[in-house]
Structure 1
Amino acid sequence: MTCSQPGEPMIGGFGTWRNVPITFDAVDPSSATVQAANYLRITPNTEESAPRWIEIGLYAAKTGRTTQKYGPSWFELTASGGRTKAITAGINPTKPDGRTHTYMAVRQSSGNQWDVLYDFNKVGQTSSQYKVPRGNSNRIDIGLEVTGPQFTNVPAIANRMQFMTENKNWQRVASQNTARVVSLPVCSAAQKPPYCFSSRLTGGTAFTQWTVSKPRKPSTLSASQTDAVTTVVSGRPRGTFNGVDQGALRTCLEQSPNSCLETVPGLSECVMTARVCNEAALRANQASSWAAGPLGSSAGAATPSMVRADAASAFGVAPSAVTVTAPIGSYALAGSESTWTVTSTAPTRGLRDVGRMFRGFTAHYSARTGALVDACWGRMCDS
C-alpha cells in the first residue's frame, strides 16, 4: 500500500481503478480466509489516540471451491468497532469487465461527518468521525491487501489518487510525502509467486499512479496492463445533470478518469453540493446484491445454513455462536429486498482487522442470493 500525508488540511479523497478479474484457485481452502481488497482509505485526524477512518474499495473473497464474492463496499472503522455496507449502485459494480470506477469521501459542509461517493454519486455517510481541528495531521492511503496469497491471482491494478484541500481544490500528494509499505517480498528471479507482490510508483514531484499486482504465477507488470482502457458502454449520455456535462463525464471515465474532477464541466462543484453527478450510473442503479452476477456466491435463494456458515467464517466465530433470524417484511437495498438477520455476541475482529477484538456483530444477508448487505460490529452497532 501507499501511505500519504498531504501536509495540509484535507476535506476529500479520490481514487480510481478498473474492475480487474481477481481469481482464486479451484481448491478447498478448508477454514482459511482467502480474499483480496483494493481500497482507498482516509484518516481525517491522525492525532487522536484512537484514530477513525473511512475505507471504500473493491473486495473479492473465495466462498467455496469454485465460487467467490466480488464487488465494492465501504467501511467506517474505529477503535470500538466498525460497520460496512455493500455498494450496489452504478453500472455493473460486481462485474470484472475492465470498467473504470471511482471512489470518494468528501467531508460534509457542516459537522464532522463525511459523504461516501461511488462513480460520483453518494452511496452513504459516516456517523462516528472525530472533529478535525485545523492544523491536525491526516492521511490518505491506497492499498492492495491479500489474505491467502497461495490461492490468489490479482492482475495489475493501476491506482490513481488525489485529495481535496480546504480551498476545494483537487491535487496529487507530493512524492516526498508518500511511502510504500509492502508486507510480502517484491517479485523477482529470486522471489517468485505466489508469495510476492509486484508494484511500481510513478510520478515526478507528485504521486501519479501506483500499479500493483499479486501474481499466482510468474508474469510481467507491463505498461499495457496498467494503461489499457476498456470501452464497455454503447450509447452516449447527453446534456447536463445537476450541472454536470454528462457526455464529457462518460468520455473522461473511459479515457482519463483521474482528470475528470479537473476537466468535466460542473463535476467538481457537483460533488461538493448535490453529491449526485453521474446520471448514467444513477439510472443503472440495480436492485442487486454484492454477489449478484456471474461471480455470485450462491445460486437461488439463500438458506439459514448457508448464511450461518458464511457469517461464522467472515467474522471468525463458531457457527454455534451465530443466531439467524428469518426475513420479515423487506429491507431496503437499492429498492426493497428481504434479508436474513444474523447476530452474535462472540468476540470478533470484524470484517476488517484493525488489531483489536470486539464484542458481537449484527449483519444482514440477501435472502435472494446470500450476499452480505450490511454489517456492524462492536459499539458501532449501538449507533
Structure 2
Amino acid sequence: MIGGFATWRNIPIAFDQVDTGSATVQAANYLRVSPNTSSSPLAPNIEIGLYAEKTGKTTHTYGPRWSELTTSGGRTTAIKAGVNPTKPDKRNHTYMTVRQGSGNQWDVLYDFNKVGSTTKQLKVLGGNTNRIDVGLEVTGPKYINVPSIANRMQFMTGNKAWQQVATANVAKSVTLPVCSTTHKPPSCFTTKLTDNSKFTQWTVSKPRRQTAAVTSPAAAPAAPAHPRDAAAAGLPATFNGVDQQALQACLENDPDSCLTTVPGLSECVVTLRICNAAALPSGGASEDAAAGADVSAADVRARAAAAFDVPGDAVAVEPPASPAALKTRANAADGSGDAAWTVTSTRSTPGLQRADRRFEGFTARYSAYTGALLEACWGDLCDAS
C-alpha cells in the first residue's frame, strides 16, 4: 500500500451547552494510514480527518486537520484549504495520503490538493505490514451528538491502482456498546458495515439521546444544495490536467468514484498533487463554528493542560502579539499566519496520541479569534526544544 483515501460529508456535530470545565470533549472522524507495522501495530502513522471540539459552555471549533504520529513524538496542523472546510454544511470532502515518488515520506491531500508532508515515516515493506483505518473517536460522549457519518475508503496498491479493501481483511473495533433498549445514549454507538466481497461503507453515529430506532445508524444525511455550476463558476476547464467541471460534479454526487471517473485526477494526485482549482488554500484568517469566541489566556492554558495531560502550572502561555514558537511557514494552508496564543511546556506528555507513550514537552498554537487549535508538536517532532 502506498496511498490511502477516504471521503465523508461535513455533518453537523452538536454539544450540550453546559460547563464541562477543562475536560476535553471532542469528536474526531479520521483516515489513518500506518505504512509499516512490522515491529508494532502502534507504528508511525499519518492521520487526516474532521475534528469538532467543545471550547466553552456555548462554543466549539470544527474543521479538518492532519497529524503525523511517531514513536518519538508527533505534530498536527489545521487545514485551511478546501471549500468551506470549517462549516458543517453536509458538503463532501476528501482525505488522502500518498507516498512520495522517492524516499519513505508521504504527502497529505485534502479535497485533492496537497496540504503537507511527513518527515518521520518508516519504509513500506512488502506483504501485510501496513494498515489503513477509518473511524470515529469520541472523547466525552456524554456531551456530544454525532449524526450518522458515512465513511468510504480505498487504498493505493504498489502499481498505483486504487482498490477497496477485501472483506476478509476488514476488522471492526467498537469500544462503546451498541445502542439498544439495554444500552441507551449517550454512552453507545450505532454502526453499520456495508460490504459484499469488499469494504464499501462504514456508517457510524454517537447519539446524545434515545430515539425511536436505536439498533442501526440513521440514513446518511441528505445531500445539501451545492449547485455544480456555482462550485465551478470561474474555474478553468482544465487545471493541472484535471477536468474541473467533472471534478466538482463528482465531489458533489459521488466522491468515492472521482479517482476513476474524473479525467486526469488519478494521474494528478500522484504527480503534481494540486488538482482542485476550487479548493486552493486561502490566505485569510481561519473561520470556524466558534467565530467571535472570547478566548482568554486562562481558557487556553486550561484546554492545553487537559489536552496534553500536564499540570496547568507547568504550561507557559504567550499572547498573540508574541512571535510564534512554532516555525512559521509561508503556505497559508497550515494556519501559521493567524494571530494565535502560543502554549509551551517541558513536562512529559502523551501529546495528542491515543497511546501509553509519553514524550518530552509540547508547543501548541490556538487561534486568538476562535480558540481553534492551529498546530501543535510534541516530543522530537517539535521545531522548538
User: TM over 0.5, yes or no?
Assistant: yes
* Aligned-residue CA RMSD (Å): 2.1
CA displacement at 1:370 relative to structure 2: 3.2
Match of 2:220 among 206, 210, 226: 226
Letter in 2 for 1:37: A
Contact 2:144 2:206 in 1 (8 A): yes
Higher mean Cα deviation, 247-256 or 356-365? 356-365
Conserved? CA contact 1:45–1:138, under 8 Å: yes
Alignment of 1:338 with 2:339, yes or no, is yes
Query: Are 1:257 and 2:255 an aligned pair?
Result: yes
Is 1:311 aligned to 2:311, yes or no? no
**1:280-319 to 2 correspondence within 5 Å?**
280-282=278-280, 285-289=282-286, 292-293=287-288, 295-296=289-290, 298-299=292-293, 302-319=295-312
2:235 is the alignment partner of 1:243: no
1:316-331 to 2 correspondences below 5 Å = 316-326=309-319, 327-328=321-322, 331=328
For 1:329 and 1:358, the matched residues in 2 are separated by 24
1:22-71 per-residue CA deviation (whole Å, 9 max, x = no partner) reads 11111112343211110000011110246111100001111111111111
Return the letter of the residue paired with 1:299: A
Amino acid at match of 2:92: T
Equivalent pair of 1:74/1:85 in contact (CA under 8 Å) = yes
Matched with 2:25 is 34
Equivalent in the alignment of 2:119: 127
Aligned to 1:43: 34
Amino acid at match of 2:262: V
Distance 2:145 2:269 in 1: 34
Pairing of 1:35-74 with structure 2 (within 5 A): 35-49=26-40, 51-74=43-66
- The CA distance in 1 between the partners of 2:188 and 2:167, in whole Å, is 24
Counterparts in 2 of 1:77-116, with a 5 A limit? Answer: 77-116=69-108
Determine what percentage of the aligned residue pairs are the same residue: 61
Separation in structure 1 between the aligned mates of residue 365 and residue 139 of structure 2, nearest angstrom = 24
TM-score normalised to the size of structure 1? 0.91
Q: Does 1:16 align with 2:4?
A: no
Per the alignment, residue 206 of structure 1 pairs with 198
Answer yes or no: is the 8 Å Cα contact 1:88–1:287 preserved in 2: no
For residue 306 of structure 1, give the secondary structure of its aligned residue in structure 2: helix
The Cα shift of 1:313 comes to: 2.5
Q: Do the aligned residues in 1 keep the contact of 2:237 with 2:243 (CA within 8 Å)?
A: yes
User: What is the Cα deviation at residue 363 of structure 1?
Assistant: 1.3
* Alignment partner, residue 7 of structure 1: none
How much does 1:329 deviate?
5.6
Q: Is the 8 A contact 1:90 1:286 kept in 2?
A: no
Return the letter of the residue paired with 1:262: T
Aligned match of 1:173 in 156, 165, 179?
165
2:22·2:303 contact (CA, 8 Å) conserved in 1? no
Give the alignment of 1:158-169 within 5 angstroms. 158-169=150-161
Is the CA contact (8 Å cut-off) linking 1:13 and 1:106 kept in structure 2?
A: yes
Give a deviation string over 1:287-306, Cα, whole Å, max 9, x none.
233xx23x117536x44333
Cα deviation per residue 1:306-334 (whole Å; 9 max; x = unaligned)? 33233222212222111122434674544
Q: 1:6 maps to which residue?
A: none
User: Which amino acid counterpart does residue 300 of structure 2 have in structure 1?
Assistant: V
For 1:371, the aligned partner's letter is: A
Kept in 1: contact 2:167–2:195 (CA 8 A): yes
Shift of 1:378: 1.3
Determine if the alignment matches structure 1 residue 349 to structure 2 residue 350. yes
Partner Cα separation in structure 2 for residue 173 and residue 227 of structure 1 = 24
Aligned equivalent of 1:266? 264
**In 2 relative to 1, CA 223–144 (structure 1 residues): closer, same or farther, beyond 3 Å?**
closer
Q: How big is the shift at 1:136?
A: 5.3
Contact in 2 for aligned 1:328/1:338 (Cα 8 Å): no
Structure 1: gaps spanning 5 or more residues: 1-9
Helix, strand or coil: the match of 1:340?
Answer: strand
Match of 1:192 in 2: 184
8 Å CA contact retained: 1:103, 1:118: yes
112 and 203 in structure 1: CA distance in 2 versus 1, 3 angstrom threshold: same
TM-score by length of 2: 0.90
Per-residue deviation, 1:382: 5.4
Structure 2 residue 148 is matched with structure 1 residue 150: no
Range with greater deviation from structure 2 (352-361 or 90-99): 352-361
Q: Which amino acid aligns with 2:39?
A: E
Q: Deviations over 1:66-118 (max 9, x none)?
A: 11111111111112211100011111111100000000000000000000000
CA-to-aligned-CA distance 1:151-208 (integer Å, 9 cap, x gap): 1110000000000001110010001100110001111222211111100000210000
Counterpart for residue 277 of structure 2: 279
Aligned to 1:381: 382
